[in-house]
Amino acid sequence: MPELPEVEIVRQSLNKKIKHKKILRVIIRNRNLRFKIPLNFESYLKKKKIIKVDRYSKYLILNISDNSFCMIHLGMSGTIHIIDKKKLSRLTNTSFYKSPFLPKKHNHVEIIFNNFRVIYNDPRRFGFIQIIKNKEELKKRFKYLGPEPFDNKFNTDYVYNYFNKRKKNIKNFLIDQNFVSGIGNIYANEILFLSKINPSKNANLLSKPDCNRIIYYSRKVLLKAIEKGGSSIQNFKNTSGVEGNFQKNFNVYQREGLVCKTNGCTNLISKNIISKRSTFFCNSCQK
């Protein structure tokens, strides 16, 4: 599943291409995504202008000229591809996960602009596309999500008080979107390694300095991932020819059995399953 950095890369790619552009028409090939695309979706977007593309957590938000919004969530396997008539490049993916080229199957939604098309592909169909009519509805849509790691609300008091009397392990909290929005499994592993906290440790046992490290490294890891173009296990270039290579900076993720990168540590990286997610850590460095 794409996490916050990967979705941010998609946002940047889309915003650069569709900002201030008018939608000519929309083609729906399959309405049966996680939430069914309504019958008036095509007519609603037709001739509308995209003001800009925003993001909250893992959600893309297209700001439309009539003050409504088109919200896109990529789910487990969704990708967005740009097909440009003026550029004959085979690279179409706006980010760095899944295929760099437009697949032949599962191209469910096509948004047509002048000289280019934006295509939503999703083999597993856990993603969705929705129209949100106004800002009030948009706020309600995110009501139950926690703050983003970059938000000022994600501070020491918030984190420490949230953990108080909660015995769930810290790894589960970091991937809980009700606690903090946008962190997924890959980055939770990296954040906890740099914070020197064992992923199985109960959150209520964490001190304020522990919480401060989590806040600091959450921001640092995600910003670095965005700078590096996100994590691409397949390692390929996007539509701009830029390579996503944060995976080259992994300290623990997918490094089971390899020597810890901490200077002076000779311990091997271990792997456990926490809440059905692969969890990588150093038993020596992370307490």
pLDDT (tens digit, 9 = 90+) per residue, 158-204?
999 999 988 899 999 999 999 999 999 999 999 999 999 999 999 99
Identical fold between 4-141 and 156-281: no
31 catalytic per annotation: no
| 199, 170 contact by CB (below 8 A) | yes
Q: Name 72's Cβ contacts closer than 8 Å, sequence gap at least 6.
A: 59, 60, 61, 62, 78, 80, 120, 127, 128, 129
58 catalytic per annotation: yes
Q: Which of 11, 55, 58, 117 is catalytic?
A: 58
DSSP state of 188: H
Under CATH, domain 4-141 is a member of which superfamily?
A: MutM-like, N-terminal (3.20.190.10)
168 catalytic per annotation: no
Element (H, E) at 212: helix 208-227
Produce one character per residue of 165-174: b if its CB has 16 or more CB atoms within 10 Å, e if not: eeeebbbbbb
Residues 242-256: tens digit of each pLDDT: 656 667 789 999 999
Q: Which of 2, 5, 149, 199 is catalytic?
A: 2
The burial class, CB within 10 Å (0-12 / 13-18 / 19+), for 28 is: middle
Range 156-281: architecture per CATH: Orthogonal Bundle (1.10)
DSSP state of 259: B
Tokens for 261?
């990168």
124 catalytic per annotation: no
pTM (2 decimals)?
A: 0.90
Segments of the chain with pLDDT less than 70: 230-246
Q: Which of 3, 6, 8, 148 is catalytic?
A: 3
In the chain, where the domains are located: 4-141, 156-281
Half-sphere exposure of 203 (CA within 13 A, CB side): 21
The residue type found at 188 is A
